[in-house]
Amino acid sequence: MLLLVSVAIVVDLVVGDPRCLPHPVVGMGWLIAALEKRWNQGSALTRCAKGALLTIVVVGAVFALAWGGLAVLAQMHPMLAIAAEIWLLATTLAIKGLHSAALVVATPLAQGDLVAARQALAMIVGRDTHALEESEITRGTVETVAENTVDGITAPLFFALIGGAPLALAYKAVNTLDSMVGYRNERYADFGYASAKLDDLANWLPARLTAVTIWLAAFCLPGTRRRGTLKGALKATRREAPTHPSPNSGWPETMVARLLGIQLGGTNYYAGQPSHRAQLGEPLEPLNGRHIHRAIALMHGGWLVFWLLMGGVVLFREVLFREVLT
């Protein structure tokens, strides 16, 4: 499995998510939308129960279809199953996509084109962007890169190494459920409760491991050690991360903020309504477009260290297992 996931990483880095190929998340979204339309009704307790059933059905169906499909292909020819699993694994990763999305914001920002930068940011965040200045555009982009390092890279890698493509796709189903119905509003507060809680549980360990691997990667990256921020970054992250509304997103966001010497969080606007979040990090320097590139570097360093450490654990387990059998 380690080799297959390694090849899938290369495929994602080179190809990304071409629009000409079908993507499993599209199918997950269609299924979730269809069931939500039918089931999200009744009393609060009924909606909560139906939401839990939605979570079970969607995650179970995705895992079963992936596992069954690969089993059928393996019966036809082993190479078909291997090729299919590599492709499925690659679809769970968003290394190239996250990198590209951040650059689409950073490029016009560096050219002073705030209108284009705002429009690009609006494609990757839910907050209002039409009136943001450079510092707030940068903040939104850096927060997105940090948070999605877990959702789009390290967490899928974590589950892929445990259970291959079926489990990695099941994780993506959990993630997609949370992004579609896991909101704390009138429509989804009850119906999406189970989905939101399962997403929190699935990301709990990967988020904390990612914060540590980003910290480790910073020892080899410019722009952090010279500020002397490495020594206290772990302690500060443990202290500040729990203040984030999400039990998991605060960990990579706080670590990136601390390592870059910037401050994230604050007030965002959604459809004109303010939403206040705890401030993370310390504003040792004002936010500007260069911090997007530094955040991208930390993202790449973080997932690479994560992969090396997890790969080492998997190899050690396999060697130990073989020794026991012999």
If residue 268 lies in a helix (H) or strand (E), which one and from where to where? strand 263-270
Residues 6+ apart with CB under 8 A from 31: 58, 61
Which H or E element spans position 278?
strand 273-281
Grouping H, G, I as helix, E, B as strand and the rest as coil, residue 181 is: helix
Cα–Cα distance between 165 and 11 in angstroms, integer?
14
Query: Partners of 275 in the beta sheet?
Result: 268
Q: Which residues contact 153 (CB under 8 A, 6 or more apart)?
A: 93, 94, 95, 98, 299, 303, 306
Please tell me the number of Cα atoms within 13 Å of 196 on its side-chain side: 16
CB within 8 Å of 217: residues ≥ 6 apart: 298, 300, 301, 302, 304, 305
Apex CA 139: angle with CA 150 and CA 257, to 5°?
60
Give the per-residue pLDDT at 224.
61
Return the C-alpha torsion angle 129, 291, 252, 257, nearest 10: -100
What per-residue confidence (pLDDT) applies to 326? Answer: 62
Number of domains in the chain: 1
Domain extent, residue 34, equals 2-325
* pLDDT per residue of the chain (326 residues) written in tens, 0 to 9: 889 999 999 999 999 888 777 889 999 999 999 999 999 999 999 999 999 999 999 999 999 999 999 999 999 999 999 999 999 999 999 999 999 999 999 999 999 999 999 999 999 998 999 999 999 999 999 999 999 999 999 999 999 999 999 999 999 999 999 999 988 888 899 999 999 999 999 999 999 999 999 999 998 887 665 555 677 899 999 999 999 999 999 999 999 999 999 999 999 998 888 989 889 999 988 999 999 999 999 999 999 999 999 988 888 777 776 766 66
- CA 261 to chain centroid: 23
